[in-house]
Amino acid sequence: MIPASFDYVAPTSVDEVVSTLAEHGDDAKVLAGGHSLLPLMKLRFAVPAMVVDIGRVEELRGVRDAGDHLAIGAGTTHHEIVHDPLVRQHCGLLAEATSMVGDAQVRHRGTIGGATAHGDSAGDLPAVVSALEGTFVAQGPGGRREIAAADFFQGYLETALAADEVLVEVRIPKHDGWGFAYEKFNRVAQAWAIVGVAALVRRENGSVAEARIGLTNMGAVPVRATASEEALAGADRTEDAIRAACQHAADGTSPPADLSAQPDYRQHLARVLSARAVARATG
């Protein structure tokens, strides 16, 4: 619970962050809200020699309307996102799910960049950004690049970010008119999801035109319940039709086993919660 010794810098621009990362390579770690990194350092699971605090980089904060999408600075806190009018208007799923992250303290420190760059599929936001088909913008010595959510999450605590890259922005396409719901199942309110389901539904002529389902904690990376999404396309808005489609929500998943759940129970929860989330999103 006492971290190993480390050096600390707090640059004020993205360029400085990138040059510091370039200088220190693998020995450096970006510090955002610290709510995932600091526990790891205290347990000495992470022992960075240099901690680069991005908390003072103003350009990494805030939500911007960029036409067909919202551009959310990586350093924007969960609390800011929950209360942001643009997010609530165009990407309600993100606001709802973010409001369920941890507790108020966590939401005031934790950032969307940290919660996704950490690459923990038990976190709520990776599955949500996957369902929203967001894009991550990273900046490194060679400039900026965009990474689709589907390519960003690569394994347990592993993302497409290189050691010398900083995540600067998360772009979320506007989902005006889509119904949405995030069903989070946990044992105590402030714990991580045993399973979470993010659902988005676009309706047309009284039936489901398109549905997207992102699953939290159902594998090493956030998973899309594609079989259910396909079964839902064009389906009736009835409870039976939704349930039938969501019977396939866990197809092809290999969820983890831990103290809260064995894999078969997680798969069962994914099916039940998908049906609930889709039903709610269908409205």
Binding stretches for another protein (CB under 8 A): 1-2, 4-5, 43-44, 185, 187-192, 194, 258-262, 265, 268-269, 272-273
Tell the smallest beta-carbon distance from residue 215 to ligand FAD (Å). 14
Tell the smallest beta-carbon distance from residue 141 to ligand FAD (Å). 14
**Interaction with ligand FAD in 184-203: which residues (CB under 6 A)?**
192
Tell the smallest beta-carbon distance from residue 239 to another protein (Å). 12
185, interface contact from ligand FAD, another protein, none, CB < 5-8 Å by kind: another protein
Q: Is 31 in the site for ligand FAD (CB under 6 A)?
A: yes
CA–centroid distance for 137 within its chain: 14
Answer yes or no: are the C-beta atoms of 10 and 56 closer than 8 Å: yes
Alpha-helical segments (H) within 91-190: 92-98, 104-109, 112-117, 124-131, 149-152
Q: Is 211 in the site for ligand FAD (CB under 6 A)?
A: no
Q: Which part of the chain contacts ligand FAD (CB under 6 A), choosing from 63-71, 111-119, 206-214, 267-275?
A: 111-119
The angle formed by the CA atoms of residues 115, 134 and 72, to the nearest 5 degrees, is: 60
Which residue of 24, 33, 71, 82 would you call a contact of ligand FAD, by CB under 6 A? 33
Rounded to whole angstroms, the Cα distance separating 130 from 150 reads 7
Q: Is 28 in the site for ligand FAD (CB under 6 A)?
A: no
Tell the smallest beta-carbon distance from residue 19 to ligand FAD (Å). 15
Dig out the tokens for 100 from the structure.
């369920």
Buried b (16+ CB within 10 A) or exposed e, 157-181: bebbbeebbbbbbbbbebbeebbbb
56, interface contact from another protein, ligand FAD, none, CB < 5-8 Å by kind: none
How many residues would you count in the chain?
283
**Element containing residue 227 per DSSP (H, E):** helix 226-232
C-beta of 173 vs 265, nearer to another protein: 265
**Element containing residue 279 per DSSP (H, E):** helix 263-282
In this structure, is the dihedral angle defined by the CA atoms of residues 85, 88, 90 and 91, taken in order, positive or negative?
positive
Question: Comparing C-alpha atoms, which of 164, 206, 202, 168 is closest to residue 278?
Answer: 202
Q: Is 35 in the site for ligand FAD (CB under 6 A)?
A: yes
Tell the smallest beta-carbon distance from residue 181 to another protein (Å). 16
Dig out the tokens for 59 from the structure.
């350009």
35, interface contact from another protein, ligand FAD, none, CB < 5-8 Å by kind: ligand FAD
Dig out the tokens for 190 from the structure.
């402030």
Residues near ligand FAD (CB under 6 A) are 29-37, 54, 74, 101-102, 106, 109-111, 113-115, 117-118, 123-125, 161, 166-167, 192
